[in-house]
């Protein structure tokens, strides 16, 4: 069950993507020209998306996949192309609208179920695989681990997610960010040391029978994120 702090942060994430930054994200996730800073973020996100996809089977026919926090749907499109039945959910109705509008012509719309809501909603059912790119970066370590444990109860295969690694650069950015008003910025990113995260995952009773798998750091200019795979033993 989602914690109260998770729900509070979820509300902030929803407000940011639905009210504050939808146009910025519409542009960032398109092929429109962007500033040098945002170009590094775009490149980093593309590399991360490629990494997560490389950890999944190339043939996903008959598999059910949850794209948890799907944003504009770019991961979902590729999963559908591999034959998966995708549940693509995001708390932002605006991002889901963008994902629906951009659905490529070569993808059967029946392969992707776009939904507005919480990725932890148990009514979504069970999945073979789960991917969650740059979503849990907005939650403190304990809440992120609890969320992963919730999802794991409904996952038969693996979970691939990203977190914000605690690096000197990110720590400095996090500190500087506290000096400025929050009205026009994203919800705080919560950097966590990989060792701390792994210890928290190992200590979560509901993740018994799961183990860390592949890990990959992606750092491109102003984009820094680390992918981690959880595998059912």
Sign, CA dihedral 91-95-101-102, equals: negative
pLDDT band at 49 (very low <50, low <70, confident <90, very high): very high
pLDDT at res. 180:
41
- Domains of the chain in sequence order: 4-232 (3.40.50.150)
Share of the chain above pLDDT 70, in %: 91
CA atoms 90, 92, 97, 102: torsion sign: negative
Q: How confident is the model over 173-213, as pLDDT tens digits?
A: 555 445 344 444 556 789 999 999 999 999 999 999 999 99
- Give Cβ neighbours of residue 46 (< 8 Å, ≥ 6 apart): none
CA gap 92, 205 in Å, rounded: 31
Confidence of residue 3 (pLDDT cuts 50, 70, 90): confident
CA dihedral sign of residues 68, 29, 55, 144: negative
Mean of all residue pLDDT scores within the chain? 92
pLDDT at 19: 85
List pLDDT tens digits, range 104-163: 999 999 999 999 999 999 999 999 999 999 999 999 999 999 999 999 999 999 999 999
Q: Is the pLDDT of residue 217 over 50?
A: yes
Q: How far apart, in Å, are the Cα atoms of 154 and each of 11, 94, 159?
A: 24, 27, 11
Length of the chain, please? 233
Please answer whether residues 111 and 85 qualify as being in contact, where contact means their C-beta atoms are separated by less than 8 angstroms.
yes
């Amino acid at each position: 069950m989602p914690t109260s702090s998770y729900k509070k942060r979820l509300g902030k994430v929803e407000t940011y993507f639905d009210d504050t930054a939808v146009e910025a994200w519409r542009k960032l996730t398109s092929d429109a020209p962007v500033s040098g800073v945002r170009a590094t973020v775009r490149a980093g996100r593309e590399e991360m998306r490629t990494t997560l996809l490389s950890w999944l089977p190339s043939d996903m026919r008959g598999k059910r996949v949850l794209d948890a926090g799907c944003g504009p749907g770019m991961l979902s499109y590729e999963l559908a192309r591999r034959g998966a039945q995708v549940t693509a959910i995001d708390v932002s109705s605006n991002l889901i609208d963008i994902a629906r509008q951009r659905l490529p012509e070569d993808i059967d719309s029946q392969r992707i179920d776009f939904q507005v809501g919480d990725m932890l909603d148990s009514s979504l059912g069970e999945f073979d695989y789960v991917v969650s790119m740059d979503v849990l970066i907005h939650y403190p370590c304990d809440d992120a681990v609890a969320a992963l444990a919730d999802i794991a109860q409904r996952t038969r295969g693996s979970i691939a997610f990203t977190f914000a690694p605690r690096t000197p650069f990110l720590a400095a950015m996090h500190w500087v960010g506290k000096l400025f008003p929050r009205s026009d910025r994203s919800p705080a990113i919560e950097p966590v040391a990989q060792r701390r995260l792994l210890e928290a995952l190992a200590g979560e009773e509901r993740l018994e029978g799961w183990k860390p798998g592949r890990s990959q750091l992606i750092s491109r200019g102003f984009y820094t994120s680390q992918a981690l795979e959880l595998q059912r033993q």
